[in-house]
Structure 1
């Protein structure tokens, strides 16, 4: 199975690649305003570069990068990609897209963006992806992700497609792709943390008016040094703190030993707060 692959931005050097590293960093930590811009730009580029010259009449299903309970940053980008694409589809008399989820079973604390190509495949190779095969029958599949670095996620998606016996046409769509293989895959973390250097840098995203939780920010907070974690928590709203705890449980982060200190403090913080209210 050979998918059609499209990326809006091709990264062939470490200084000039068509988008701002600070924007990408904010996007990865929950800035939905940037996610909206990235999603719309990806849709516009794909329409111009492919869809305008290729007549697709079948039902399109758009799928974000796999997740368990907490969506990835790509999920926010996907929503705005879909909004923009639907406008074009309706204007051209075509079916609006449907959406589906790729379920994943394993969560891990390792920072994926820091790993080599070999280590990425070792880590993600232990995971398994699941999908509703019957819902997808006879439809064209658009798998979205924010960036392609080594292709390990793509290989896992195609492995899943083979295991499920999917016969669908598959399109792999990326906001950006690392095309210069002389650049180490850890360049991804250069982008991820370009704007966010400490837990306190998160405030500008969280309190900027366009924040949405994702797996990266939850893991980053739970993995933070304890003293900084406590100081950070004191600056957040009750709603944020409650959501952080609920999402952490939903992704089974209570089973990860290195998160235990911060997560137990978070639990007690909520319990004590509720007790005082009573």
Structure 2
């Protein structure tokens, strides 16, 4: 099974990416304005460089990067990609897009972006991926991800497709791709944290009116030292704190030792705040 692969930006050096690294960093931590820019530009690029001359007649299914309970940053980018691509498809007489999810059981808490290619494969190889095979029958699959660094996630997706016996036409679409193999895969973390150096750098993203939770920001908050975490928590409203807590439980972060202390602080904060309301 050889999928068609498309990436909007090709990274061949470590200083000029073809996109704003600060916007990318904000996107990775929940800025939906950046997600909209990336999603629409990826759709426009795919239309211009592929669909305009290679029409897909089958029903298209768009699938964001795998997740368990909390979506990844790619999920927000996917929403805008779908909106933009749907407009073009309908204007040209085609069916609008369907969506589905790859369910993922995650077995680690390490920061994937700082690892080498071998370390990434060793880590992700323990995860499990599941998809609704019957729903996909006879359809063309577009798997979306924000960046391709070593191809580990792609190999896991294709492994899943093989295990499920999928014979669908598969496309792997990326906002960006590292094509210079002399650049260490940790360039991903350089981009991820380009504008986020501490938990307090998240405040502007959260307060800009276009914020959406994702796995990265939840893990980053929970992994912060307790002193900074308490100060950060005191500046957040009840809605944010309750959402943070519920998402954390939904992703089973209460079972990860590194997050237990801060989750305990959130639990106490909610409990005490409820007493105040009573």
Q: What TM-score results when the alignment is normalised by the length of structure 1?
A: 0.99
Tell me, what secondary structure is at the counterpart of 1:53?
coil
Matches of 1:20 and 1:56 in 2, distance apart? 31
Matches of 1:235 and 1:186 in 2, distance apart? 32
Tell me, what secondary structure is at the counterpart of 1:57?
coil
Q: Cα deviation per residue 1:16-57 (whole Å; 9 max; x = unaligned)? A: 121010000000000000000000000000000000010211
Report the equivalent of 1:207. 207
Matches of 1:246 and 1:19 in 2, distance apart? 34
Q: Cα deviation per residue 1:101-133 (whole Å; 9 max; x = unaligned)? A: 000012521000000000000110000100000
What does 1:53-92 align with in structure 2 at a 5 Å threshold?
A: 53-92=53-92
Q: CA RMSD in A?
A: 0.5
Tell me, what secondary structure is at the counterpart of 1:196?
coil
Report the equivalent of 1:272. 272
Gaps of 5+ in 2: none
Q: Cα deviation per residue 1:46-91 (whole Å; 9 max; x = unaligned)? A: 0000000102111000000000000000000000000000000001
Tell me, what secondary structure is at the counterpart of 1:50?
helix
Q: Does 1:219 align with 2:219?
A: yes
Tell me, what secondary structure is at the counterpart of 1:258?
helix
Matches of 1:106 and 1:34 in 2, distance apart? 26
Contact 1:107–1:251 (CA<8 Å) still a contact in 2? Answer: no
Task: List 4+ stretches of structure 1 deviating above 4 A.
Answer: none
Q: Does 1:228 align with 2:242?
A: no
What does 1:6-155 align with in structure 2 at a 5 Å threshold?
A: 6-155=6-155
Matches of 2:93 and 2:18 in 1, distance apart? 32
Matches of 2:56 and 2:3 in 1, distance apart? 15
Q: Report the more deviating stretch, 102-111 or 2-11.
A: 102-111
Matches of 2:73 and 2:106 in 1, distance apart? 18
Matches of 1:108 and 1:163 in 2, distance apart? 23
Say how many residue pairs are matched: 278
